[in-house]
């Protein structure tokens, strides 16, 4: 079902500072910066590697306010890994297959994600405590 790990989402207080750390420590390169009001984040995608299944990134996430998903996470748990995003061919199809196995979908229909992707989240309580995102990259 999964093509690759599309990205690992990392919650942080200060996006620009964390980008600086990833650039200077790991030599990663920012390929996209966006504000996603619906998701309550300011985020950056940093390129990690290209593989057979597509490209993998690190996604750095700064909350737009304390009441957002990432804002609440930071207050409860502090900075760190927030979610894993898996690349899928067809997000609607993957959602239906996964829901049929009894895993709760947070999103009833796909949402707008970074760099034109269609995304959907699965509830962390049904995935062993891991917030899981499905990512369908836009057609080339
Ligand atoms: C919350 N919980 C998590 C978690 N966030 N567990 C694992 N990983 C996380 N990231 C746990 C939390 O500790 C609680 O457990 C329980 O879930 C309920 O949490 P809450 O703080 O009361 O918050 P809720 O229920 O209001 O919201 C939690 C969910 C929410 C997961 C439903 O964060 C959500 O809808 N997330 C999906 C959207 C999102 O995260 N967007 C930002 C990334 P206990 O304490 O009860 O045991 S946007 C993105 O990735 C984009 C745009 C992209 O990739 O393109
Ligand atoms: Co994400």
Provide the annotated active-site residues: 7, 43, 59, 83, 133
How high does pLDDT run on average in the chain? 97
Whether 92 contacts 98, CB under 8 Å: no
Minimal CA–CA distance to 47: which of 37, 60, 65, 62? 60
> How many C-beta neighbours within 10 Å does residue 137 have?
20
Condensed to tens digits (0 to 9), the pLDDT of residues 54-90 reads 999 999 999 999 999 999 999 999 999 999 999 999 9
Q: Distance between CA atoms of 96 and 104, rounded to whole angstroms?
A: 11
Q: pTM of this prediction? A: 0.98
- Please tell me if the CB atom of residue 44 comes closer than 6 angstroms to any atom of ligand 1: no
SS3 81: strand
| Buried/exposed code over 51-70 (b: 16+ C-beta within 10 A; e: otherwise) | eeeebbbbbbbbbeeeebbb
Q: Whose Cα sits closest to atom 16 in ligand 1?
A: 125
Q: Of 140, 130, 133, 139, which Cα lies nearest the Cα of 59?
A: 133
Is any ligand 1 atom within 6 A of the Cβ of residue 36?
A: yes
Rounded to the nearest angstrom, the distance between the alpha carbon of 52 and the centre of ligand 1 is 30
Pocket test for ligand 1, best of 124, 132, 133, 137 (most atoms within 8 A of CB): 124
Looking at the chain, the whole-number percentage of residues with pLDDT higher than 70 is 100
**Are the C-beta atoms of residues 92 and 110 closer than 8 Å to each other?**
yes
pLDDT band at 140 (very low <50, low <70, confident <90, very high): confident
Domains of the chain: 4-136 (3.10.180.10)
For the chain, how many residues are written? 140
Ligand 1 touching residue 110 (CB < 6 A):
no
For ligand 1, atom 28, the nearest C-alpha belongs to 69
Task: Classify residue 105 by its DSSP letter.
Answer: B
Nearest ligand (C-alpha, residue 110): 1
* Percent of the chain with pLDDT strictly greater than 90: 99
Place of tokens 């309550």: 40
pLDDT computed for residue 139 by the predictor: 82
ipTM (interface predicted TM): 0.98
């Amino acid at each position: 079902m999964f093509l690759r790990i599309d990205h690992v989402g990392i919650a942080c207080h200060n996006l620009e500072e964390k980008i600086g750390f990833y650039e200077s420590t790991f030599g990663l390169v920012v390929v996209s910066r966006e504000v996603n009001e619906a998701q309550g984040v300011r985020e950056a995608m940093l390129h990690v590697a290209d593989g057979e299944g597509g490209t993998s990134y690190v996604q750095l996430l700064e909350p737009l306010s304390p009441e957002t998903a990432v804002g609440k996470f930071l207050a409860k748990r502090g900075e760190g890994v927030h979610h894993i995003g898996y690349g899928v061919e067809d997000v609607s199809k993957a959602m239906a297959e996964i829901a049929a196995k009894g895993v709760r979908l947070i999103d009833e229909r796909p949402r707008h994600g970074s760099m034109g992707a269609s995304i959907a989240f699965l509830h962390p309580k049904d995935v062993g405590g891991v917030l899981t995102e499905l990512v369908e990259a836009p057609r080339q």
